[in-house]
Amino acid sequence: MPSARHEKLDVLIRRAAIEKRVHAVARQITADLKGQRVHLVGVLKGACIFLSDLVREIGLETSIDFIAVSTYGAGNESSGQVRMLKDLDSSIAGLHVVLVEDILDTGLTLSYLLRILRQRKPKSLRVAALLDKPSRRVKKVKADYVGFTIPNEFVVGYGLDYAERYRNLKDICILRLPPPDVLAERIPEP
């Protein structure tokens, strides 16, 4: 799937496989929290599509909230800095919380989120990550529910972006950027 920007997309996980796996994660959460109310906390913006599909398959009383953090800039390299952009709307004290993440990469974001959410005294705190890239881990964190473990590739689609683009792709795709000489050709001389 070529794009006008010379970026190339190779499908890594097709929509049917995503759907099947999201349903399986939802069933697992339903079983683990049987009879309880579950409070899903989505990490914006990447987890919004995963959360929307997940919550509709959970057979329990649910509520949702969102938190937004920024770990990456506009590109695809981790800055190592986590910044809170939007806090939760309501307290999570005494709730069974499932933090819903798009991708677990270095673990910096998750380790920050777990630290601040634990301070708020939820009854339990679990993590559901659609994707896991364990090879890049810097912080020792792991998710209770993982959709797919993937190789060290930059992926987009199903909520994941590159500079805010590609979130709407139905498949999860590996993004291949053009080589630097192609990029240089496209930057006009001053």
Binding site for ligand IMP (CB under 6 A): 46, 71-72, 78, 101-110, 154-156, 160
10 is catalytic: no
Q: Which lies closer to ligand IMP via its Cβ, residue 108 or residue 169?
A: 108
CA 115 to the chain's CA centroid: 18
Q: Whole-number minimum distance, CB 72 to ligand IMP, in Å?
A: 5
What SS3 string covers the chain? CECCCCCEEEEEECHHHHHHHHHHHHHHHHHHCCCCEEEEEEEECCCHHHHHHHHCCCCCEEEEEEEEEEEECCCCCEEEEEEEEECCCCCCCCCEEEEEEEEECCCHHHHHHHHHHHCCCCCEEEEEEEEECHHHCCCCCCCCEEEEECCCCCEEECCECECCECCCCCCEEEEECCCHHHHHHHCCCC
- Which one is catalytic: 105, 132, 161, 171? 105
Q: Whole-number minimum distance, CB 93 to ligand IMP, in Å?
A: 25
Q: Which lies closer to ligand IMP via its Cβ, residue 107 or residue 147?
A: 107
Q: Which lies closer to ligand IMP via its Cβ, residue 98 or residue 160?
A: 160
Cross-strand bridge partners of residue 11: 173
CA distance 166 to 174: 11
Q: Whole-number minimum distance, CB 155 to ligand IMP, in Å?
A: 4
Q: Whole-number minimum distance, CB 169 to ligand IMP, in Å?
A: 12
Q: Which lies closer to ligand IMP via its Cβ, residue 107 or residue 122?
A: 107
Phi/psi region, residue 94 (left: phi>0; alpha: psi -120 to 50; beta: rest), is: left
Q: Whole-number minimum distance, CB 141 to ligand IMP, in Å?
A: 8
Q: Which lies closer to ligand IMP via its Cβ, residue 17 or residue 44?
A: 44
Catalytic residues: 105
